[in-house]
Chain A
Amino acid sequence: MTFSEKFQKTTDVKHWLGDMEVDHFLYTAGIAGEAFFVALRDKGVILGTRCELCGITYVPPRIYCEHCFAELNEYTDVGLRGRVRSFTIARLGKDGNELKKPEIFAVIDFGSGTTGLLHKLGEVTPETVKVGLDVEAVLKPKSQRGGHITDIEYFRPVG
């Protein structure tokens, strides 16, 4: 088909298909990431860093406070229990089609004064999930943990 003829699809006009090759990149965990992921893998705990001046605990940890720009090096175990600040039921896949099983994502606070951790919820249904729900982390067995955010499988309601 030539350029000037009537076309029905955008791919009927002269075009080229291309790729942006971006699937090979190395992301360094860094100082805070190293502490966080090693503690998660080896001890099964969730670490944050504390800014005493601002009264904020960063989860996951960072080596700086985004409010006062202080350097942070005080790591604290925030526990495995938190509370749902917000959640959503993701019904669509990346292709725009309905997921076979919706996934529930949440922002979880670990007590007042912590930043929220983005993660998934499990053992809960769209009907029973709510803001303010008390949840706890479900970790993979130690032998299967590799120092990834997915070493936490999901958070589930407490009790």
Chain B
Amino acid sequence: MSQHAPSVDGISTATSPADSGSAPAPHPLVIEPASGWMPIDLAELRDRSDLLLYMTIKAVKTRYVQSALGFTWAFIQPLMTIIVFTIVFSRVAKIPMPSDLPYPLIAFCGILFWSFFAQSLTAASSSLVSNREMLTKIYIPRLIFPLSQSLAKLVDLMITLVLLGVLMVGFRIAGEPVSPRPEAVLVLPAMILLAFVASLGLSLWFSALSVQYRDVAYGLPFVVQIGMYLTPIIYSTEMIPAAIRPIFALNPMLAVITGVRASLLGPPFLYHPALLVEGTVVAVALLVSGAIFFRRSEHLFADVA
């Protein structure tokens, strides 16, 4: 390496970083100042997939630890919500649903996905700040913090989906006309994916922002609460005036819940393809822009957290 000329203090300075290739360099890792736009390092994420797995397991396991009811809480929370909603919105406020199906079933389809979205958003958005101990001591791909939190909430969603299945079978046995459309087998996973993409995309924005601006942590509960009323949970998509539906559909969760109800409950719930496309586009845009923003601010996390 003749290019490396020793300087006055005996410190060697590389005059030409691009060497002639004498050193066998299997994976030269180059650390440089963060420079504006960089793509997400997907290869690195794949390399650390075991880490993602254990971080997700940790997030799932530590949630209900040392509680008597344990995982039962994952059922109790949506179940209680549905009971309260049924009493308040169906019996007291008498919100008319377009279908003859029982109100709890219709509302449950919405609550399930909304609570996944809300919990995933809340947990993932605070994941960087709450892991600052780790963030400032050791390097792991930072994306793993919000990603593992979102994945853990996805596990919860799967559990509560079982509850929805039980509810559907129960109502059917009770003589209600519960008949999912056959394509639900495909539509449901797609809607789960859409909800995941939307929540992760927004979480990437919020988690990166909250490192520098703690305002995010204070504002987020309001966003979640207001968002719940702007999403067709206690009412249906069809009840939104057609003229302003495209505005409401900027919220990707509208597309998710519309798709879930149309596939699982059947007519009169419709797919509204235009709304689904709009929601999907917004969700993907959130994820891509969130990933870019996250990556862009990543270099600051350890210094500012």
User: A and B, one complex?
Assistant: no
